[in-house]
Amino acid sequence: MSTANGVHADEPHRQGLSQRLNWLRAGVLGANDGIVSTAAVVVGVAGATTQTGPVLIAGLAALVGGAISMALGEYVSVSSQRDSEHALIQRERREIADDPEAELAELVGLYEAQGLSRETATRVATELTASDALRAHLAVELHIDADDVVSPWAAALASAVAFTIGAILPMLTILFTPVEVRVGATFAAVLIALAVTGYLAAWIGGARRGRAIVRTVIGGALALAATYAVGALFGVASA
């Protein structure tokens, strides 16, 4: 389906794509990590003891520590990306100011490399340079939108919130189900949640749903099985 200006509504031509993908990446990774890592901790402890107190303490520690860790990791990672983008933008701005004719010729060459004829490439480069030379060079040469540089604070917040939301599910499940079924119930709740997050990530990103669901569910199941086995082993050894 096309809009009045010929842009397909289901394709990511609108502004803010980097921010959207950044939020998606941080949110999905945070939620999945919150679900899996917290569930792995509480299931592992539940495998070692039937007491609720140790499970609660371990789960809360995993939630708080994990949320802070995810936020810090995202902030550092995205800050580095943002600094690199700002440095590239400043360098390009200087190059345009120092030698505009050479930069125009470079832009023409870039358009020719994309398949335009010399005449068309020259006309396009000239018109875009007259409109906004920096934006034209950033888009074609560096694939950067100056108004769409990622925010480390947004990524950190999205990651921490998503991790916390994800971590709450296994916490509530294992704490509010009967002792004899709480591990199985947590397994089921976590795998369903991972299937949902995998589907949503694929749907928003336009990827194949089935592959994303299988990947997240299998990974989560392996993590839970491994930690439960470790907890059960130590529980038997200390009995």
Residues 67-77: tens digit of each pLDDT:
999 899 889 98
By three-state DSSP, how is residue 141 classified?
helix
CA dihedral for 4, 10, 11, 15, sign (positive or negative): positive
- Structure pTM? 0.72
- Determine the pLDDT at residue 25: 64
CB-based contacts of 62: which residues, under 8 Å, 6+ apart?
A: 37, 38, 41, 42, 167
- Residue 173 is which amino acid? T
Across 3-20, average pLDDT: 47
232 vs 179: CA distance, rounded Å: 14
User: pLDDT band at 43, cuts 50/70/90?
Assistant: very high
Does the pLDDT of residue 165 top 60, yes or no?
yes
The mean per-residue pLDDT over the stretch 79-98 comes to: 88
Q: What percent of the chain has pLDDT over 70?
A: 84
What is the spatial distance between Cα 28 and Cα 190, in angstroms, rounded to a whole number? 15
Range with lowest mean pLDDT among 131-135, 146-150, 161-165 = 146-150
* Helix, strand, coil fractions of the chain, as percent rounded to 5: 80, 0, 15
Q: Is the dihedral of CA 110, 112, 116, 122 positive or negative?
A: positive
Q: Tell me which residue has tokens 């509480």.
A: 42
As separate numbers, helices (DSSP H) first and strands (DSSP E) second, the chain gives 7, 0
The CB density around residue 221, as the number of other CB atoms within 10 Å, is 15
Q: How far apart are CA 172 and CA 55, in angstroms?
A: 11
d(C-alpha 148, C-alpha 138), whole Å: 11
Q: What is the DSSP letter of 9?
A: T
Torsion of CA 151, 155, 160, 166, to 10 degrees: 150
CA-only gyration radius of the chain, Å: 25
The structure tokens listed for 26 are 């941080």
Residue 198 pLDDT exceeds 50: yes
Task: Name the β-bridge partners of 8.
Answer: 2
Confidence at 218, pLDDT banded by 50, 70, 90:
very high
